[in-house]
């Protein structure tokens, strides 16, 4: 899910895109939280994990995973369906995000420092314990460098806050509109404000041991 887009906006977008009644979608989310999984039209909804503050939901259509993202527990406890109120938001009106003409679909071996608008698909190999840092905006945030890999190599992906909870080890993720940078002399992939991180259909990817062989 894109940065600065609320859960309600994103679910409203999905309900429109897949022609699902927002009330049925909201009920299915509540059911999945209680019973681990539920269906809503052509969509299958599964509860991947729970904490006291949020529930990580996975939405699929047949064999294709559409999205995986955290839903605050308070959202599911709303008396009035919050999804319906977002059906007319700008995100919903725009429809599915379009790829920019200059975006690059690459493999990890192709990545170079300074590249932008990078698209790639990779598998999550490791998720270390997140660290709390004090940001330049005057607040604390969780950050972690996740190890991802494809058939050509591996690289660290910097994730913040809700992004961390939206994936699990073993997931295959589609990364859109990312950029390459360095931190303390080490290359890493970053997802900017306009970037997206989405769990998708699994692909053949190397094990951690195989991926390590690609690293310099």
Q: What is the CATH number of the domain that holds 118?
A: 2.40.50.140
Q: What is the pLDDT of residue 144?
A: 92
Q: Do the domain assignments include residue 179?
A: yes
Give the number of domains in the chain: 2
pTM more than 0.95: no
Range of the domain at 16: 7-94
pLDDT for 99 equals 45
Q: What DSSP line would sit under 3-63, residue for residue?
A: TT--HHHHHHHHHHHTT--HHHHHHHHHHHHHHSEEEETTEEEEEEEE-SSEEEEEEEETT
Domain closes at, from 67, 94, 121: 94
Does some domain include residue 99?
A: no
In a domain, 116, yes or no: yes
What is the rounded CA–CA span in Å between residue 174 and residue 177?
10
CA distance 147 to 142: 16
Residue 203: per-residue pLDDT:
38
- Nearest one of 4, 12, 2 to 166, comparing CA atoms: 2
Domain final position from 36, 63, 94? 94
In this prediction, residue 208 carries a pLDDT of 46
Share of the chain above pLDDT 90, in %: 37
Report yes or no on 2 lying in a domain. Answer: no
Average of per-residue pLDDT across 132-138 = 81
8 A C-beta contact, residue 60 and residue 43: yes
Which residue in 192, 164, 157 sits closest to 178, CA to CA?
192
Summarised one tens digit per residue, pLDDT across range 2-36 is: 445 688 888 888 888 888 888 999 999 999 999 99
Say if residue 108 is in the same domain as residue 204: yes
What is the average pLDDT across 57-66?
A: 88
Task: Please tell me the predicted confidence (pLDDT) of residue 87.
Answer: 64
Those residues with Cβ within 8 angstroms of residue 77's Cβ, 6 or more apart along the chain or in another chain: none
């Amino acid at each position: 899910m894109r940065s600065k887009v609320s859960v309600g906006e994103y679910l409203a977008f999905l309900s429109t895109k897949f022609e699902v009644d927002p009330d049925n979608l909201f009920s299915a989310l509540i059911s999945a939280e209680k019973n681990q999984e539920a269906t809503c039209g052509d969509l299958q909804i599964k509860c991947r994990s729970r904490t006291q503050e949020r529930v990580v939901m996975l939405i699929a259509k047949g064999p294709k995973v559409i999205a995986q993202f955290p839903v605050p527990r308070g959202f599911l406890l709303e008396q009035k369906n919050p999804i319906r109120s977002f059906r007319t938001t700008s995100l919903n009106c725009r429809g599915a995000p379009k790829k920019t003409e200059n975006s690059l679909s690459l493999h990890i071996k192709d990545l170079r420092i300074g590249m932008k608008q990078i698209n790639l698909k990779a598998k999550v190999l490791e998720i270390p314990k997140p660290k709390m840092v004090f940001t330049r905006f005057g607040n604390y945030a969780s950050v972690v460098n996740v190890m991802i890999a494809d058939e050509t190599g591996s690289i660290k992906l910097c994730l913040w806050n809700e992004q961390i909870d939206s994936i699990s080890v073993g997931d295959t993720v589609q990364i859109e509109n990312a950029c390459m940078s360095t931190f303390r002399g080490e290359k890493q992939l970053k997802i900017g404000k306009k970037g997206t991180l989405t769990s998708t259909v699994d692909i053949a990817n190397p094990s951690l041991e195989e991926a390590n062989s690609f690293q310099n």
